Amino acid sequence: MSVPSDLSLRSAPAPTGVGLGLRGSFMAEVDAGAADGRVPFFEISPENHMHRGGARPARLARIRERFPVLTHGLSMSIGGLEPLDADYFATLREFLAPFGDHWHSDHLCFCGVDGKQLHDLLPVPFTAASARRLAARVREAADRLARPMAVENISYYLPLGVPSVDEPEFIAELLERADCGLVLDVNNVFVNATNHGFDARAWLARIPLARVVQLHVAGHEFWDDVEQTLIIDTHGAPVRTEVDELLAWVIERTGPLPVLLERDNNIPALPELLAERDRLQAVYDQALARRELAAGGQP
Amino acid sequence: MTDDREHAAITAFAAAMCEPDAPARIRDDLPTYLAEHGVDPADREILARHREQLLVYRAMVHSRLRGVIAEYLPRTAAILGKPRLQRELTAFMAERAPHSVYFRRVPGEFLAWAAPRWHLDDTLPAHLVDLASHELLDQEVHDSVAGGEAASGLPLALERPVQLDGSVRLRRYAFAVQRSEDPPTRESTAILAYRDRESLRLRLLELTPRAAALCAHLLAGAALQTALTDTCTDCGEVMSDEFLAAMASFLADLGDRGVLLGAAS
């Protein structure tokens, strides 16, 4: 499995270490310097900033001057049935221009049909036909944005029909056909492994890690605290140690990558979020040290 | 799975998120529901084993949409109460659903759909649409891409339109929903809203009827002379010295606030 040429050529130097998703609730604090020296990069969702005036554009521009910023979309609907939205892509391409040559990523999901936007990450069938169709859309997205694309594995709570391939095969096929990167969300792997009863590490072992350009980690919660039969990727709780272990497992095999701590619900005060970032950075650093040791070098 | 099968599965899934009777039908007989949406028999079988998860998806989608509506329209949502808001959302999803890719625009899309219904609904407070519109005004002005433009540098001239800050909005309400009274007084009200150029915060001005009429004409692009004349007509006034002095004072105040930037270039 080769590293996609576009990504290796155009995204260097990508930030590494554990960054934070930039959210409106603490954007002003970051702008004021509260995260200076504490975060190697931020990630934004362009949809939260596009077509938006007021204080936000200047604030984001100032943050961009001090931190690398990666972009991760929410609304591309790579798995959607309708043609890609030309207006959305034109606006997104213009928005991304100041952010350097880094890849842009979005999710392996659909977001709606018939023009209706359901504003959630909804599952796609795991079939070879679907992998081919989505890969073509990812290529088209990269062309429209004039930059490399990466896709993220989602949490899914049911199989959308009879799978003809399993998820790792689906993802590998799509990555190869689209020649794109993977934003590997290890919390989603954990959530899916728990809900669907598979081994997360065995799953990871079948993913082409050379395609991984970034990792995501987040917290999850039970749908029903009493029954505790289904966990949901809520981004509303601290990252669990089982997810730490998956993060470390991947980093030991890939080497340095940008790792994003996502928090979208029950967002704590920034100092608390930075403390969790620090904890994850230690997990990341230890994994890199083990990788060095295994390679025969000094930790 | 063929492309047709994929299409049917995705379409049926989306229908389960939007159709008002979907939860009951999913609970009662999911295979039949899926069959009616063209889902392949083999896919129906595996989906039927995940009935609860399909309902979880629907609950998540609706909860998220209800949440953003309550976030941007908090007083409106509190008046409706969660059960009524959910019923409204269920009807919205069935009849219209969000179409913007921007999540923050869901409350505006919802209100645009709901307002004509709420106006006709005697079970709801008469001021509800005004209140919701006013709550949404905050977001509209804050997020306006226009605003903060450089002044043309041209002095006001009777024969020219004026340049107003791009964030300016004029709203007319039947109730004084901008005040803190609960419930608000029934009182014909005009509000000029704009984003302060320094603090970037929302500012509101309650306007007199003639100030509101003048603003409406100026926002529509009328030349200053025409706007003044039409304001007199609208308000049943003659263009007296008192009227002109009052309007000059109003325009000067708008200038001081950075709302009126001079004559349009």
Which pLDDT value is given to residue B265? Answer: 87
pLDDT band at residue A224 using 50, 70 and 90 as cut-offs: confident
Shortest alpha-carbon distance between residue B160 and chain A (Å): 28
ipTM confidence score: 0.93
pLDDT in tens, A135-149: 999 999 999 999 999
pLDDT band at residue A10 using 50, 70 and 90 as cut-offs: very low
Contact: A116, B97; criterion CB under 8 Å: yes
Contact: B101, A124; criterion CB under 8 Å: no
pLDDT band at residue A298 using 50, 70 and 90 as cut-offs: low
pLDDT band at residue A1 using 50, 70 and 90 as cut-offs: very low
Q: Which residues pair with B173 in a beta bridge?
A: B189
3-class SS shares of chain A: helix, strand, coil, % to 5: 45, 15, 40
B:26-55 residues touching chain A, CB 8 A cutoff: 39-40, 42-43, 45-47, 50, 52-54
**Residue count of chain A:** 299
How many other CB atoms are found less than 10 A from the CB of residue A63?
17
Which pair of tokens denotes residue B250? 């109003």
Interface test with A, best of B102, B143, B194 (most A CBs within 10 A): B102
Mean pLDDT along residues A209-225: 91
Question: Which of the 8 DSSP states describes residue B127?
Answer: T
Question: Which of the 8 DSSP states describes residue A35?
Answer: T
Which pLDDT value is given to residue A132? Answer: 96
Which pLDDT value is given to residue B246? Answer: 97
pLDDT in tens, A110-135: 999 999 999 999 999 999 999 999 99
Report whether pLDDT(A11) > 60: no
Query: What are the φ/ψ torsions at residue B137 (nearest 5 degrees)?
Result: -60, -35
Question: Do residues A133 and B34 make contact, with C-beta atoms less than 8 angstroms apart?
Answer: no
Which chain A residues touch B3 with a CB distance below 8 Å?
A: 129, 133
A53-62, A87-96, A216-225, B248-257: range with lowest mean pLDDT: A216-225
The answer to whether B228 contacts chain A (CB < 8 Å) is: no
Q: How far apart are CA B118 and CA B186, in angstroms?
A: 17
β-pairing, A181-185 vs B186-195, is: unpaired
Contact: B100, A55; criterion CB under 8 Å: no
β-pairing, A104-107 vs A149-152, is: parallel
Report whether pLDDT(B150) > 60: yes
Which pair of tokens denotes residue B149? 């433009």
Which pLDDT value is given to residue A4? Answer: 53
Which chain B residues touch A54 with a CB distance below 8 Å?
A: 142-144, 147, 195, 200
Which pLDDT value is given to residue A12? Answer: 52
Question: Do residues A159 and A166 make contact, with C-beta atoms less than 8 angstroms apart?
Answer: no
Identify the H or E element spanning B261.
strand B260-263
Report whether pLDDT(A153) > 80: yes
Single-letter code of the amino acid located at A95: F
Question: Do residues A206 and A169 make contact, with C-beta atoms less than 8 angstroms apart?
Answer: yes
Which pair of tokens denotes residue B231? 């304001």
pLDDT in tens, A156-203: 999 999 999 999 999 999 999 999 999 999 999 999 999 999 999 999
Q: How far apart are CA A162 and CA A160, in angstroms?
A: 7
Mean pLDDT along residues B198-212: 96
pLDDT band at residue B21 using 50, 70 and 90 as cut-offs: very high
Mean pLDDT along residues B14-42: 97
Shortest alpha-carbon distance between residue B95 and chain A (Å): 11
Q: Which residues of A touch B (CB under 8 A)?
A: 47-48, 50-56, 74-75, 79-81, 85, 88, 110-120, 122-125, 127, 129-130, 133, 157-162, 164, 223, 230, 232
H helix runs in B19-119, sequence order: 22-36, 41-48, 51-72, 74-95, 106-119
pLDDT, averaged across chain B: 96
Contact: B10, A113; criterion CB under 8 Å: yes
Mean pLDDT along residues A207-225: 91
The pTM score is: 0.94
Query: What are the φ/ψ torsions at residue A149 (nearest 5 degrees)?
Result: -110, 150
How many other CB atoms are found less than 10 A from the CB of residue A57?
13
